[in-house]
Amino acid sequence: MTRVILASASSGRRKVLRQAGIDPLIVVSGVDEDAVAAGLDKAATPAEVTVALAAAKADAVVTGLDPAIATDCVVIGCDSMLFRDGALLGKPATAAAALAGWQQMAGTSGRLYTGHCAIRLQDNEIVSRSVESEATTVHFGTPSAVDLAAYVASGEPTAVAGGFTLDGLGGWFIEGVEGDPSSVIGIGLPLVRRLFERAGLTLADLWRANPVT
């Protein structure tokens, strides 16, 4: 019975998996994302950066797993960043930065990159490791000054990559997406299914082993 482990504290990612029939075990990696990003080649692409961060999270969780769990499990690490105006953006550092970001991106579009890493363990040994990134184009609306101020004051923008959500308060200001919506939330279901398949796993088995109660 393969246990699915999500190496993330993201409520959005957990919600996506639960709505898709899998209740993951949450193990937060504690990885210093800024340190990982700083160690990458300056020429790294957005896809390479997000994959490196996702892999670092998954690897960190794998090294600290309880041996009883590591007998049969798959660890999923993810990381999302928004590429806009030639810059790769993570979570806004402050409310002021979130406000300025929204004022700049209102009425425009950006590419949301989400890196994924899936590591399967059997008998406390890694038997499969796959990484992949997905990019989705997000079209932003133009919130009124009053609504934008209220949105920033909610605290949501400073907790998420790019300063917006699709499945939360920010959804009011997203005009549309081109690509996989679940990837925008933080974990792309079709992509993760492919990673599972590479590891020899089926959704049928994972649904049985990780039921949502």
| Residues identified as active-site | 79
- Under DSSP, is residue 36 helix (H, G, I), strand (E, B) or coil? helix
> Smallest Cα–Cα separation from 199: which of 56, 57, 74?
74
**At 153, which helix (H) or strand (E)?**
helix 145-153
Give bridge partners of residue 132 from the DSSP assignment.
Answer: 116
Tokens of 129: 């490791």
d(CA 79, CA 151): 23
* Contacts (Cβ under 8 Å, ≥6 apart) of 19: none
Contact by Cβ (8 Å): 197, 126: no
d(CA 82, CA 111): 6
